[in-house]
């Protein structure tokens, strides 16, 4: 891999900008403006790794040239030493070039955010609801493996187990960057327990991953456009069953979107959480409409989150899972359901990076 001239230009610009910000951060005007100081500090820290890696690349370039000069030495031992140093420097430089290409990729502004995770049973009746339960347990284990937190927002239980729908909030830095490729239709192939003939049934669930909005005022939600209902939360029993109307249902009248939250005992907290979820769904709706317009004349990219797109199949009889977006098949279904999602997330991330690098080069 080598760096294109356009990449060289961008890296030089990044270094100049880094130096410029370094000077600005020490000026009285910027120090007096805390918001501006915070913005520049974030930009400075983001440019730091790029500039540091770019400088290392330049130093290795000098090492390459020095080793090439030593190859001309009449001393055979010196030539052998120079040859080894040249090979090592070239290898290190290639690794830095790969790092630089990745560092220059446009960063998804939502990557570090918490998420709302929504799983809904689709075709397949009871079996789809049971599969929704399997998916939620898989994601729950993955969240725990990463040291994050998960809290349930709303559930609608299946008649014979699992969920018709479950909405949860995942709290953890980088949650969206890991989960964003999970949006879409997940299909399961297995023999239901009630199937006496041993026939394989196919069911499906849809998964939606929405980045949590930090500032719901950023989305235009008018109070007059909301219908807010309160009701008594249902629970599994014990102290979690509310005796007051603390659960909240909010209907956004212009779009018909409905969100519910009954996890918190406080009506105020449930309302705040429901508004946050509504904000995330409205933003997703806007993005989806824009993406549909952009995708009319180009290939659908990895991680588009199109609900109609069948993204993955889980085949229980064969212990097989296939991600259709990257044509990857693994015979490690049990490991995946146990929360080892990185075996799919990492290849999906790499594919997405390859797409972005291709765009960067053109």
DSSP 185-240: EEEEEE--TT-TT---EEEEEEEEEEEPPS-GGGS---GGGEEEEEEPPP-SSGGG
Q: For residue 118, what is the DSSP state? A: E
Longest dimension (CA), the chain: 92
d(CA 313, CA 311): 7
Q: Which distant-in-sequence residues (6+ apart) come within 8 Å of 192 by Cβ?
A: 126, 127, 201
217 token code pair: 């005022």
d(CA 325, CA 310): 9
CATH number of the structural domain 5-103 = 1.20.58
* Chunked mean pLDDT (size 10), the chain, 362 residues: 74 91 92 90 88 90 88 85 89 87 80 90 90 96 95 89 92 92 93 78 91 63 82 55 70 86 77 83 76 49 46 95 94 95 92 78 62
Q: What is the CA radius of gyration of the chain?
A: 26
Closest CA to 100 of 64, 47, 152: 47
Question: In this structure, are residues 262 and 241 in contact, taking their beta carbons and an 8 Å threshold?
Answer: no
Q: Where are the domains of the chain?
A: 5-103, 115-296+303-354
Give me the pLDDT at residue 271, please: 83
For strand 247-252 and strand 226-231, is the pairing parallel, antiparallel, or unpaired? Answer: antiparallel
Give me the pLDDT at residue 194, please: 67
Task: Say which CATH topology domain 115-296+303-354 has.
Answer: Alpha-Beta Plaits (3.30.70)
């Amino acid at each position: 891999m080598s760096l294109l001239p356009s990449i060289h230009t961008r890296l030089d610009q990044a270094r100049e900008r880094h130096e410029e910000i370094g000077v600005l951060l020490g000026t009285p005007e910027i120090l007096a403006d805390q918001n501006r100081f915070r913005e520049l500090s974030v930009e400075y820290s983001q440019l730091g790794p790029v500039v540091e890696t770019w400088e290392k690349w330049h130093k290795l370039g000098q090492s390459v040239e020095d080793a090439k000069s030593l190859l001309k030495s009449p001393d055979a031992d010196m030539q052998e030493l120079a040859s080894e140093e040249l090979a090592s420097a070239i290898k290190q430089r290639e690794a830095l070039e790969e790092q630089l290409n990745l560092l220059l990729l446009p960063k998804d502004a939502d990557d570090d955010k918490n998420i709302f995770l929504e799983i809904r049973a689709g075709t397949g009746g009871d079996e789809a609801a049971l599969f929704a339960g399997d998916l939620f347990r898989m994601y729950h284990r993955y969240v725990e493996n990463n040291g994050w937190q998960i809290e349930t927002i709303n559930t609608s239980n299946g008649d014979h187990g699992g969920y018709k729908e479950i909405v949860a909030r995942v709290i953890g830095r980088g949650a969206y960057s890991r989960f964003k490729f999970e949006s879409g239709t997940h299909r399961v192939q297995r023999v239901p327990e009630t199937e006496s003939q041993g026939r394989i049934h196919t069911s499906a669930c849809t998964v939606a991953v929405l980045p949590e909005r930090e500032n719901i005022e950023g989305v235009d939600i008018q109070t007059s456009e909301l219908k807010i209902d309160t009701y008594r939360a249902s629970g599994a029993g014990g102290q979690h069953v509310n005796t007051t109307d603390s659960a909240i249902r909010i209907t956004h009248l212009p779009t018909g979107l409905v969100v519910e939250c009954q996890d918190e005992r406080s009506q105020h907290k449930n309302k705040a959480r429901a508004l946050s979820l509504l904000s995330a769904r409205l933003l997703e709706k806007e993005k989806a409409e824009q993406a549909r317009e952009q995708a009319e004349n180009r290939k659908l990219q990895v991680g588009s989150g199109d609900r109609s797109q069948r993204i993955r199949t889980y085949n229980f009889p064969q212990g097989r899972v296939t991600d259709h977006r990257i044509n990857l098949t693994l015979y490690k279904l049990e490991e995946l359901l146990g929360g080892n999602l990185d075996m799919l997330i990492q290849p999906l991330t790499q594919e997405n990076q390859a797409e972005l690098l291709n765009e960067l080069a053109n």
